[in-house]
């Protein structure tokens, strides 16, 4: 069965108990093994903390902090020109700068001109020529140098048999 007064040990160690309560606990601890052990363990923990190294701030820390506070205090550049505000607004993606627009126009113009040059070098065919060019009759079944002739000859040999 655990001693109920054990929970007072931390406050005793931290000097948070008032006069009468403190004296009463001191008397109790002398006769209670459990409270005595708890107090000893807690003192041991305190000693471990006492041996912990304290870390001073790094060299120049305050200087760096003050430099950052001065940067925070730097005045804002004032209201932006109308065009800058338009460019940075929600419709900014749809707004093309003058330079970008000029480049776009040049590219489109070059493309159109190039297309016209290419089409002019190949004059349009009369309708009749178009029709005949698409006809199957224009295709030679056995173009010179192909195996088509040999293939047809084989078929004819087979048929003879």
Partner 1 sequence: MHDAEDLLLIKRFSNGDTSAFGELVLKYQDKIYNLCRHMLGNPQDAEDAAQEVFLKAFQALPRFQPEASLYTWLYRIATNTCIDFKRKPVWESLFGGPGEEDRLIHDRASDAPSPEKLHQSRQTGEALQEGLGKLSPKLRAIIILKELEELSYEEIAETLDISMGTVKSRIARAREDLQKIMKKFREQNS
Judged by CB under 8 A, does residue 73 bind partner 1? yes
Residues 32 and 44: their CA atoms lie apart, in Å, by 18
d(CA 129, CA 150) in angstroms, rounded, equals 32
In 3D space, the residue among 130, 155, 129, 131 whose CA is nearest the CA of residue 142 turns out to be 155
Q: Give me 106's structure tokens.
A: 């040049």
Does 88 contact partner 1 by CB under 8 A?
Answer: no
Per CB under 8 A, does 40 bind partner 1? no
Would residue 34 be called left, alpha or beta, if left means φ above 0 and alpha means ψ between -120 and 50 degrees? Answer: alpha
Nearest CB to partner 1, comparing residues 46 and 88: 46
55 binds partner 1 (CB under 8 A): yes
Query: 18, 54, 93, 128: which one contacts partner 1 (CB under 8 A)?
Result: 54
- Cβ nearer to partner 1, comparing 27 with 37: 37
Q: Of 55-63, 118-126, 128-136, 146-154, which segment contacts partner 1 by CB under 8 A?
A: 55-63
Residue 161 as a binder of partner 1 (CB under 8 A): the answer is no
The smaller minimum CB distance to partner 1, of residues 63 and 120, is found at 63
Q: Which residues contact 87 (CB under 8 A, 6 or more apart)?
A: 95, 97
DSSP string covering 3-45: -GGGGGHHHHHTT-S-HHHHHHHHHHHHH-HHHHHHHHHHHHH
Stretch of 6-14, 27-35, 136-144, 152-160 contacting partner 1, by CB under 8 A: 6-14
Instruction: Report helix, strand or coil for 147.
Output: coil
Site string for partner 1, 12-31 (x = CB under 8 A): --x-x---------------
The residues of the shown chain that bind partner 1, judged by CB under 8 A, are: 7, 10-11, 14, 16, 41-42, 45-49, 51-58, 61-62, 64-66, 68-70, 72-73
């Amino acid at each position: 069965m655990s001693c109920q007064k054990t929970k007072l040990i931390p406050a005793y160690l931290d000097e948070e108990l008032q006069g009468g309560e403190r004296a009463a606990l001191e008397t109790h601890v002398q006769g209670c093994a459990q409270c005595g052990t708890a107090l000893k363990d807690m003192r041991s923990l305190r000693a471990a903390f006492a041996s912990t190294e304290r870390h001073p701030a790094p060299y120049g820390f305050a200087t760096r902090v003050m430099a950052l506070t001065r940067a925070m205090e730097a005045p804002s550049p004032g209201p932006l020109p109308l065009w800058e505000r338009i460019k940075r607004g929600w419709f900014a993606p749809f707004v093309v700068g003058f330079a970008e627009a000029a480049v776009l126009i040049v590219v489109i113009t070059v493309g159109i001109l190039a297309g016209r040059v290419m089409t002019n070098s190949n004059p349009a065919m009369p309708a009749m020529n178009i029709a005949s060019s698409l006809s199957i009759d224009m295709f030679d079944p056995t173009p010179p140098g192909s195996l088509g002739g040999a293939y047809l000859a084989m078929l004819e040999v087979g048929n003879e048999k």
